Amino acid sequence: MHRCGGALIDEQFVLTAAHCFSRNRTPSMYRIHVGAHRSGSGRVHFIRNISIHSLFNVVWPSSYDVALLRITPSVKLNETNTARTICLPSVAAITHQMCIVTGWGMTKEHGRRSDVLREIHIPIVPFTQCNNLAHYAGRIHFPSMLCAGYTQGVVDSCQGDSGGPLMCMNMGRWEIQGLVSWGIGCGRPGRPGVYSKVHAALPWIQMEMNKLRG
């Protein structure tokens, strides 16, 4: 059963949301489908390690909602044309920049999950705008969260997209700036999606990769 999305950042590592493992952190309980574009497709990999960010707050809304998965076997990028790694961010997300989110989640609030990988194009929302009373009334944790979406709603990530990447172009290369984390409903006016800020987690990500790399 599909649970969450993720992003391949290295032949051995997938980045996703920590809340995806709030009920069970046993690696053997999960499988990773790499390079999938339709339900059930892609190559199956196993999880060797699940690392949860040291500052992750389980209480909603969760700050530092980031998890790093070490998978086995390593992805052989020269043997697949359906999977590529995404670069970690070299700079923080730029306000108003158009970015892309991909996922397998519901196509609308209370709808059904998609059988194919979908993508949406949405802008980064200024922190002060997202955190004001009309939006999230102070719930946005600036150091670890960012918002993306439209004031009028409609286009948004949704349930089942958790852990999926928010990808933005920088200097000719795609970088992962966010991970689908939480929101109020899907596509509601004044309720953009909230994403884990990957740039804020970079020191932890790099430390964990160095520690776990085999």
Over pLDDT 70: what percentage of the chain? 100
Confidence of residue 152 (pLDDT cuts 50, 70, 90): confident
Confidence of residue 151 (pLDDT cuts 50, 70, 90): confident
- Residue 17 and residue 44 in one domain: yes
Structural contact between residues 58 and 165, judged by C-beta atoms closer than 8 angstroms: no
- Residue 63 annotated in active site: no
Residue of 19, 45, 135, 141 with catalytic role: 19
- Residue 64 and residue 116 in one domain: no
CATH of the domain at 188: 2.40.10.10
- Residue 19 annotated in active site: yes
Residue of 10, 53, 65, 157 with catalytic role: 65
Residue 150 lies in a domain: yes
* Residue 165 belongs to domain spanning: 97-199
Calpha distance 9→43 (Å, rounded): 16
The mean pLDDT value of the chain amounts to 92
- Residue 143 and residue 209 in one domain: no
Residue of 51, 62, 162, 181 with catalytic role: 162
Interval 43-84: pLDDT, tens: 999 999 999 999 998 888 899 999 999 999 999 988 777 889
- Residue 115 and residue 68 in one domain: no
Listing DSSP states for 7-21 in one string gives: EEEETTEEEE-GGGG
- Residue 66 and residue 140 in one domain: no
Is the per-residue pLDDT at 38 higher than 70?
A: yes
**Counted domains in the chain:** 2
pTM, 2 dp: 0.93
- Residue 135 annotated in active site: no
